[in-house]
Every structure is written in structure tokens, then in C-alpha cells.
Structure 1
Amino acid sequence: MTNLTLNRRAVLCAIGAAGLGLSMPALAGTGPLMQVVKDPNCGCCGAWVDVINEAGFETEVSEVPYEALVRLKQESGISEEMASCHTARVEEYVIEGHVPPADIRRLLSERPDAIGLSVPGMPWGSPGMGPESERDAYAVYIIRKDGTTEVFTAYDAA
């Protein structure tokens, strides 16, 4: 029979480890639910979803044929100039492309009268598109309900 001696440090470590195990699922996905629609052939979209999940958002991902994704963008008010590779919805807003989590949180905090945010195209170094330390300059645009756009956040090249 093994003689087990518990000291105060061992008990505190065990309690802490048990509490950490319980709190991790609670911390994952504590942000609002984001519904992401993407083309099944696009890997960078999955990388962006990983970044969004790491930032605390809960996600549901749907893969649809390219034609259906284009139709969704049009129905959501995303012009061809603002389009990117995936479209998401969080609360009442549309998120188009590789928008950083901080900008999504700012949008949800400020609650402007807008369709949502877009990072047109797929700029290198934006979330899910390669290392931020090598990023190209890019802008996050706010899309107003009348279809006009303006820069929401500008990111300089690294």
C-alpha cells in the first residue's frame, strides 16, 4: 500500500488544476456567436476562424458552393469592391473577409448604424493570411446601410 502524504502545497495545486479544467470550457467561446459561411476549398478562411475562436468568439461554420456564397454577399449588401473570401454574421452585423477581432469587438461596442465591416480581398498579414509581422498595409472598412464605405481602421505595413 502506498503511503500518500498531502501537504498544503499539493492540496492547493490539485484544487487549482481542477478549477482550471472547469474554467477552460467556460472561457472558450464566451463572446457572441459568429456564423461564418465559406467556400469549402478556401483554407485561409479556416485560419481566420481559428483566430476568431482564440479571441473568444463562438463560431458556427457552414461551407457552401461558391455561387451560393456570392449570392449571400449580394443579399447581405456586400458590393463586389468590398468582397472577400468568406462572409460572417455576428449579431446584426455582417463581417466580410479577414477582419481582426479587435475591430469586430469595437463594432459591437460602438453599434453604428451600418451593415458591417469588410477587409476586401485577402491582404497578406491580416488575420488568417500569414504572419502579422510581415503584413502588407490594409484597411478595415465600415459599410453603411446606404452602401457607402469609409475606413474604420487602417493597418500600416509591418
Structure 2
Amino acid sequence: MLLTALALAAPLTAMAAAIPVKLYKNPNCYCCDLYAKHLAENGFKVELINTTDMASIKQQYNVPEKLEGCHTALVGGYVVEGLVPAQFVQRMLKEHPPIRGVALPGMPVGAPGMPGVKPAPLTIYTLDSSSPPKVFASF
């Protein structure tokens, strides 16, 4: 019976493979480390890439200054800027909208990686070159 259970579990493990993420961050940013942990706890396999030149990363991925967060992540062909909760990254990957990605500007308290109680709902915006940012979600 144990062998049967193991044989049945093997395909499930393969199907539940973690979603790869490359996360560019400043090596001294602790909130980015906490955010990476949040992603890992929610089905992502995070590769941390430390850099002291985040400005060039944001420029490379066309992140508008007003939408910048403390780090930039790449997942499933999308850019995820800032502390966007894993559930919204997963939603974007599932729905596959025609956008470049999503952004949660700044380092707002109450977002994953930033301890504390959020003072108000936080808004996640789309990253899209052809139009102004739109609201993707609020939490």
C-alpha cells in the first residue's frame, strides 16, 4: 500500500512544482528578503539577485518612477514591481492579461515584507506601455 501511495504522489509533486521568480533587490533590503519568503511560502521558487544598481533594473524593465517599489521581480514573462501579494501574482499568471506586469508602489506598511497594520487599502496597478496605469487589484 505504501508503494502505491508513493507512486500516486510522484505525479502530484511534479504538477505542484514551484513557479520560478527572479527577484532583483538591494543586498541591504530586509523587506525584500521577507517578501521573497512570502512568495516561497505561496508556491514560488525565488532566485534572489543582489544589486546596488536597482535604477538600471527598473529602467531595463520600463518601470515608471511613480510605480517603483523596492525590488523588481520577473515571473512567467511578467514584471512584478514591489510588494505585490502572492495571490495577485498568481491571479495574473492564471488570467494572463495583455499587460507587462503589476506594481505596488513604494514600501507600504501592511504589504508582504512590511510589518504593521496597513492604514488604508493598498492599490496594485498594471504596467502597460500603451496606456496609463489601471487598477489591477486592491487589498
TM-score (norm: length of structure 2)? 0.85
The question of whether the paired residues in 2 share the 8 Å contact of 1:77 and 1:147 is answered with: no
Corresponding position of 2:22: 35
**For 1:135, which of 106, 109, 118 is the aligned residue?**
118
- Unaligned 5+ runs, structure 1: 1-11
Corresponding position of 2:108: 123
**For 2:45, which of 45, 55, 58 is the aligned residue?**
58
Offset of residue 147 of structure 1: 5.1
Say which SS state the counterpart of residue 145 (structure 1) adopts. Answer: coil
Give the structure with the larger helix fraction: 1
- Unaligned 5+ runs, structure 2: none
| Matched letter for residue 81 of structure 2 | E
Bigger Rg over Cα: 1
**For 1:98, which of 76, 83, 96 is the aligned residue?**
83
The question of whether the paired residues in 2 share the 8 Å contact of 1:139 and 1:154 is answered with: yes
Say which SS state the counterpart of residue 81 (structure 1) adopts. Answer: helix
User: Separation in 2 of the partners of 1:69 and 1:83?
Assistant: 10
TM-score (norm: length of structure 1)? 0.76
User: Separation in 2 of the partners of 1:30 and 1:45?
Assistant: 23
Corresponding position of 1:72: 57
RMSD between superposed Cα atoms in Å: 2.1
* Equivalenced residues, count: 131
